[in-house]
A and B are shown apart, each in its own frame.
Chain A
Amino acid sequence: MAALLVPSLLTSCSLDDKSGLGWFFGVILQLSEGMWASLVLFVLTLLFSMPLGLLVCFARRSRFKVVELIAKFYISIMRGTPLMLQLLVVYFGPYFVFKVALSTEYRFYAAIIGFALNYAAYFAEIYRSGIEAVPKGQYEAAHVLGYTKAQTFMKIVFPQMVRHILPPVTNEVITLVKDTSLAFAIAFVEMFTLAKQISATESTIMPLFVAGLFYYIFNLVVSYAMGLLEKKMNYYS
Chain B
Amino acid sequence: MKKTLALLLAVAMIITAVPFVFSGCGSSDKSGSKADTATTTLTVGFDAEFPPYGYKDEKTGEYKGFDLDLAAEVCKRNNWELKKQPIDWDSKDMELNSGTIDCIWNGFTINGREDDYTWSVPYIDNSQVVVVGKSSDIKSLADLKGKTVAVQSDSSALAALTGDDATKENKKLAASFKELQQIPNYETALLNLESGAVDAVCMDIGVANYKVEASKDKFRLLDDQISSEQYGIGFKKGNTELKDKVEKTLLEMSKDGTVEKIAKEYKLEDALCLGK
Contacts and interface: CB of A to CB of B under 8 A. Distances in A.
What 8 A-B pairs come out closest when comparing CB atoms?
A103-B32, A200-B49, A95-B98, A4-B195, A197-B56, A203-B214, A150-B2, A103-B28
B56 A194 contact: yes
Contact of A100 (B26, B48, B185, B186): B26
A234 B197 CA distance: 51
A185 interface: yes
B98 A197 contact: no
B14 interface: yes
Interface string B1-45: 111101100110010000001101110110111001000000100
Contacts of A94: 22, 25
A199 B187 CA distance: 8
Contacts of B51: 200-201
B24 A109 contact: yes
> In the complex, which range does the number of interface residues on chain A fall in?
35 or more
Contacts of A185: 88, 91
Given A102-B98, A109-B24, 18 more contacts: A8-B194, A26-B58, A55-B14, A62-B7, A92-B98, A95-B97, A95-B99, A103-B31, A103-B100, A184-B88, A187-B100, A196-B49, A196-B185, A197-B49, A199-B187, A200-B56, A201-B56, A203-B190
B228 interface: no
A58 interface: yes
Main secondary structure of the interface of B (DSSP, over half): helix
Contacts of B196: 4
Contact of B187 (A107, A184, A205): A205
A145 interface: no
A193 B85 CA distance: 13
Given A94-B25, A104-B100, A202-B58, A149 B216 contact: no
